[in-house]
Each structure stands twice: as structure tokens, then as C-alpha cells.
Amino acid sequence: MEARFPWFILLAPLVSAVLIQLFLRKSRGTSAALSVLTVALTLVASIFVFIGHDGTSEVPWLDFRPAFYVPMGVTIDPLSKVMLLVVTGIGTLVHIYSLVYMKEDESEARFFGNLSLFMFSMLGIVLANNFAMMFVFWELVGVSSYLLIGHWFTRDSAAKAANKAFLANRIGDFGFMLGILMVWTASGSVVFSEIKNVLPTLSMPAGFITVASLLIFCGAVGKSAQFPLHVWLPDAMEGPTPVSALIHAATMVAAGVYMLARVSFFIQLSATALDVIAWVGIFTAILAALMATQQDDIKRILAYSTLSQLGYMVSAIGLAAPGAAMFHLFTHAFFKALLFLGAGAIIYAMHHEQDIWKMGGLSRKMKWTFLTFTAGYLALIGTWGFSGHFSKDVILLAAWQQNKGVFLFGVITAFLTAFYMTRLMVVTFFGSTRSEAADHAHDGPVTMTAPLMVLAVLSVCAGWAHFAGPALGGEFSEAIEAIEKGPGEWVVFVLTGLALLGGVGSGFILYSGRAKDPILIPLFKNKFYIDEIYAALIAGTQDLLATLARYLDQWLIDGALVRGLSGLAWGTGFVLRFLQFGNLQGYAFLFGLGVVATIYLLVFR
Amino acid sequence: MTLTLNHYLFVSGLLFAIGLGGVMLRRNIIIIFMCLELMLNAANLSLVAFSRFNLVDGLPNYNAQVLVFFIITVAAAEVAVGLAIIVALFRARQTTHVEDINSLKF
């Protein structure tokens, strides 16, 4: 019985998605209810799985033994247990919240169908016990993310954002696939536990491991939106806000980190790969934090903040501390989902206005949203006692112990995080209301505020040792404790504290009472022009290729081949037609000459 | 003077040359047609002559004479078709002059 729970968790959302897509597209209420019910059941099943035993159960999928063998298998271990709780827990809250948020949407059924499809794919990644299965679900997550970002596909920007997300993901996935194939070639298996078992017996060149690790990391770069493929995540905010909360903050983007934690046993064999991962992560963190300081769209600020926090997690993987990464993933999922849902509540109350400069004074209008949002804010900037503080400090501590450069960037990012989040808070919730909509804003119904409250409680306490410890399981909590026992705890505590105070202080001083942004840094506002650089790069490459192709087509194919051949035939005909001079006797004469010549050749030669 | 093969061949060649000359030089298509027949009959004459002077066991070689009959038959058929074409041509163009019939030239 117990072994069936993981399969139930995996397949129930699929059933729901199929039912909705095939039969219930017209009945909005039923499909929403079905989707919510399914995800609630998976949450219950996940809790059962969580308190149950570890284990694996698999069925053959591609069985060509002894050549190769790929099973469909589900793994229950501490890593997947905590991820299951995060995905189904936040999934449930987001589903309930969506009931209100999407109430007036005509294609509500499609939305819930796609949400179920996403849950299926994400749970597939979480439960997968081998690379091939993970890759399949990895792509499915990409598809469902595409569908959900493009939910309002009649809006051009949404359709483009969906395409962008999908394409950026595909680039990463290509590397991921190559990485999988390299590991498969080397170890002869795709199953994680088998790879782990045979790894000590294999002799691979160091370069091979480095390249394979970095290719696998490519997948995470795409899915977890790390530099240089981070460009899709801010645009993905075109999707409905619950989607942003569930997919682009808490779960899908965390899949990259989760995957890296899953295969960290392999990546840790290569010091070079670890260094690259750590630096890419922290570079993304600081880059995104800088961009966030100048954004005006509330969801975009949160999106950049997500990028930045994902950077921390990836960096932790690179610091050989997957426990710390998973810890931060765990806490971040709660407070970032909370912040997004809070932002969604504000946007809903503001009639789909997302510009923070048009808000202001909302703390008086939307009391519950304000309180819960504040909890998320305090957790994100790492206030002592809130969940974000503990997990971020573990990462920074690990950085202090291993790589001072990464640590320095990490502290600067912490400062920036506090700064831009304070900016967001001050501009949105304090001061005077700056628009008609803000005057009339009010809290949403209880189905909207209840998930916020639950998440607020979780955001506060998810980091406490006796809460996070059991959630993360023995291995990871021990690893985290080991980091905490290491040197530098006070240095890190003081420095992050100073960064926090500095960020909050400067944010308050700069922004309280302002009606428009007092500082303007175009470089940050325009996201370091990375989108433009990509556009120019891609446009340039395409232009070049197109010009080349045009010349080839024009001169080689059209010119030499098509026109050349037809010209040859025409020219031959043109020359030969002068023989047709129209004199019958002339023809007869030529004929006679021919006969004479033939006779001469046949008889006299 | 006895007639030898050469005499016959000379007459045959003469007839052929007259026919060829007519085909080359005359402009009236009916005359050209008649000259063609003349050339066929020149060939017939030489065949018969060869047959007569090429004895096998004291008899002429009749193969050549049989060939002559074939040629006459084919020539008759050809005349039927050829004259029909010429009549049709004349009806269409009101001329039998070959220099006027050159619309297929470039």
C-alpha cells in the first residue's frame, strides 16, 4: 500500500489534466474543483509518504537488457520527500488561491488543466529515479510552463514571453541531454543510485567529468534561469500571478537546483565544475539584484529577486553544500510564493495595475495582505528569526569557509536584496495613495487571504531548526550543522546583519515619501541591456546567415544551376534553329550529302 | 554490240541523277514528287540488271526481282499518300510551290 503512494502522487495530476483537457473544457467550475481536489489529495499522500519509509519502486520502460535499460521509477528519499512537500504544499495553496484569481477568466478550465499538467511534470522530476525519466519530465515542465506563461496568448507580449521561456529552456536542455548521454556512456546506466554505485570503479579523465558536470549544469542554467539564460524568467511574469508564484518562484525554477542536488555526488568529483557553478550562481545573484533595484513592475522586482535567490542556491551547490541549497530552496519556496501571491492580491485589488509607483499607502487599505507580505519581506531579506535568515546564512557561511570571493558577492547581494525589497515595501504600502485604484483597494476574499496566512506562518518558521531539520532529513541537516559548526559564524552573522541594516536603512531614507524614483540608473533599469545584446547578437547572426543563404540561392542555385541548365538548353536550341532555313531542296541537298558521306564512310573507308 | 551490265547501270545512274536533279532544282512539288518516283525506278532498273547478269546455276537471282516488286508496291502506296498530302496542301495554301511552304522555319 505504501509503495503506491508515490505512484498515486505522480499520476493523479495527470488524470486530472487529461480529464479537464478532454472533457471539461467547457465546465469551468468542475475543472477547477477537480484540479484543486487532485492537488489536495497529492498533498495528503505526500504527507503520508513523508512520514513513511524511504524506498524505490520501478517498472521497466525501455528494456533492452543487456544493451541498455531505462526504467520508470519513483524514488523516495529525504531529498524527494522535502521537495514533494514543497511542491504539493505550495501547489495546493496556489490552486486554492487561483480559484479567486482566475474566477473571471473565460478559459479557467484550460488554466486548471495546464496547472494539473504542470503538477504532473514537476512531481515527475521530483520522483524520477533516473536521468532519462527526469529529462522527459524536465521537458514536460518546459511545455506546461510555456502553456501557462502564454495563458493569455491573445496578448502579444504573453505569447512572446512564452516562446522566449521555451527557447531559453531548450538551449539549456540541449546541454543537459548531452551531459546525460556522457554520464550514461561512462557509467552504463541512467539510474542515479546505480551511477552512484559504479562511480568509484570507473576511471574517467578529469576533463570528462568536468565537461559532463558542466553540461548537466546547463540544464539547471536554463530551468533555474541562471546567467546567461536568465532572460526568460522576468518576461515569464506575463503569465497569471498564481503561475508566477507556483512555477516561476517556488517549484519549476527550483527544479534546476533540485536536479543539481540529486546529482551532486557526480558534480563534486570535479573541482573546476564546482568553481564554475559557484561563480555563475553568485554572479547571477548580484546581477539580478542590481537589476531589481530599478524595476517598477511589482512582479518583475519579485522575478529578479527570485533570480537572485536562485543564484544563491546554485552557488551553494557549487560550494559543495547541496544541503544548504536545498535548505534555501525549501524556505525560499514559501516566502517567495507568499510574496508573489501577495503581489497577486495587490494586482487583483488594483484591477491589474502592476506599477508600484501607482500604488502607495496600501498598508491601510489591505491590512491582511500587508501583514503577510511583510512576513515574506522580512524572510526574504533575512531578518533574524525568519526562515530566510537561517538558510541564507548557511550558504554564506559555506562561502566564507570555502571561497571568500563568493562570500563577498553574497554579502553585497544580501545588501541589495534588503535595499530593493525595502524600496518595494515603502513605495507600495506606505506614503500616500497615488492612484484612483489604490484608493479603493481592499483585501481579497478568504480563499485569497487564507493561503497567504498559511504561507506567512511557514515563511516565518520554515527555517527553525526543529522544523527544517526533520523536513530536510538526516543527511542534509547534518551537513548543515557541520557547516554551522565551522569557523566564521560570528563574522557572517555580523556582516549579513550590517548588510541587512544598511539595505533597509538606505531603502527607507531614499524612498519614504517619494512619488517617483529619486535615482535613475539606466543600466540597471534596462537589465544591463542583456536582452538588447541578445537581440542584436541573434539578429546579427541571422542576418549574416540569411545574407549568405541569399547569395547562395541567388547565384549558385538560381544562377548556376537553374538558369545555367535552362540557358544551356535554350542556347543549344538557338544555335540549332538556324539549320531550319525553310528550303525544301536545301534539306534534300543536305540529306543527299549525308547519304554520300555515309556511303563514303561505309564503302570506301 | 551486246548490252552489258555497265550499260544498264549507266542508264540507271542517269535516271537517278535526273531524278535527284529534279528534286534539287524544281520548285513545283508535283514535279519533285515525280522525280522521286524516277529515282525509285532508277534503283529498280539497277536491281533488275543485277539480277539478270548475276546468274546462279544458269538462272537469274530472283531475290532482286522480288525486291523490285516490293519497291513498286511501296511506291504505289507512297504515291497514294503523297498525292493526298499534296492535294490537302494545295487546298490549304492554294499553291504547290515549295518556296511558299516554309512556315516551320525559324
Give pLDDT tens digits for A554-572. 888 888 888 989 999 999 9
Strand, helix or coil for residue A58: strand
CA dist., res. A247 & res. A254, Å (int): 9
Average pLDDT across chain A, whole number: 88
- Partner A contacted by B17 (CB < 8 A): no
- For B5-100, CATH number? 1.10.287.3510
**Chain B closest CA to A605's CA: distance in Å?**
22
- Residue in A581, A589, A592 closest to B105 by CB: A581
Query: Is B105 in contact with A588 (Cβ distance < 8 A)?
Result: no
Give the tens place of pLDDT for each residue, A194-248: 888 888 887 778 888 899 999 999 999 999 888 888 888 888 888 888 888 888 8
- Residue in A580, A588, A589 closest to B104 by CB: A580
Q: How many CB atoms lie within 10 A of CB A133?
A: 22
Q: A513-517, A580-584, B91-95, B98-102 — which one is most confidently predicted on average? A: B91-95
What per-residue confidence (pLDDT) applies to B11?
A: 95
**Chain B closest CA to A552's CA: distance in Å?**
37
> A477: Cβ–Cβ under 8 A, 6 or more apart, which residues?
A323, A465, A468, A469, A470
Instruction: Give the chain A residue nearest B29 (alpha carbons).
Output: A584
How many H helices and E strands in chain A?
A: 28, 2
What would the mean pLDDT of A257-272 be, rounded to a whole number? 89
What per-residue confidence (pLDDT) applies to A61?
A: 87
Q: b/e string for A171-206 if b means 16 or more Cβ within 10 A?
A: ebbebbbbbbebbbebbebbbbeebeeebeeeebee
Q: Cell 496568448 belongs to which residue?
A: A153
Prediction ipTM score: 0.80
Give the tens place of pLDDT for each residue, A52-100: 888 888 888 888 878 788 888 888 888 888 899 889 999 998 898 888 8
Which chain A residues are within 8 Å of B100, Cβ to Cβ?
Answer: none
Query: Is A582 in contact with B23 (Cβ distance < 8 A)?
Result: no
**Chain A closest CA to B19's CA: distance in Å?**
12
Query: Is A588 in contact with B24 (Cβ distance < 8 A)?
Result: yes
- What share of residues in chain A are helix, strand, coil (percent, to 5)? 80, 5, 15
Higher pLDDT, A465 or A561: A561
Residues A524 and A294 sit within 8 Å (Cβ to Cβ): yes
- Residue in B32, B102, B106 closest to A577 by CB: B106
Residue A1 has pLDDT above 60, yes or no: no
- Partner A contacted by B57 (CB < 8 A): no
- Partner B contacted by A592 (CB < 8 A): yes
> B85: Cβ–Cβ under 8 A, 6 or more apart, which residues?
none
- Residue in B20, B98, B99 closest to A592 by CB: B20
Q: Give the three cell numbers for residue A54.
A: 524511504
Give the tens place of pLDDT for each residue, A117-152: 999 999 999 999 888 999 999 999 999 999 999 998
What per-residue confidence (pLDDT) applies to A522?
A: 82
Report the predicted TM-score, pTM, of the whole model to 2 decimal places: 0.77
Query: Is A588 in contact with B23 (Cβ distance < 8 A)?
Result: yes
Q: Give the three cell numbers for residue A581.
A: 532555313
> DSSP secondary structure string, A148-217?
HHGGGTTSHHHHHHHHHHHHHHHHHHHHHHHHHHHHHHHHS--BHHHHHHHGGG----HHHHHHHHHHHH
pLDDT above 90 coverage of chain A, percent: 33
What would the mean pLDDT of A575-602 be, rounded to a whole number? 87
- Of A375-384, A463-472, A576-585, B79-88, the one with minimum mean pLDDT is A463-472
Q: Give the pLDDT band (50/70/90) at residue A179.
A: very high
Q: Cell 489536495 belongs to which residue?
A: A40
What per-residue confidence (pLDDT) applies to A42?
A: 93
Higher pLDDT, A605 or A337: A337
Query: What are the boundaries of each domain within chain B?
Result: 5-100
Give the tens place of pLDDT for each residue, A369-394: 899 999 999 999 988 888 888 888 88
What per-residue confidence (pLDDT) applies to A135?
A: 93
What per-residue confidence (pLDDT) applies to B106?
A: 63
Burial of A330 (0-12, 13-18, 19+ CB in 10 A): buried
Which neighbouring-strand residues pair with A191?
A130
- What is the mean pLDDT for each group of 10 consecutive residues in chain B (106 residues)? 89 94 89 92 93 86 92 94 93 88 74
**Chain B closest CA to A586's CA: distance in Å?**
8
Instruction: Give the chain A residue nearest B101 (alpha carbons).
Output: A582
Give the tens place of pLDDT for each residue, A391-445: 888 899 989 888 888 999 999 999 999 999 999 998 888 888 888 777 888 887 8
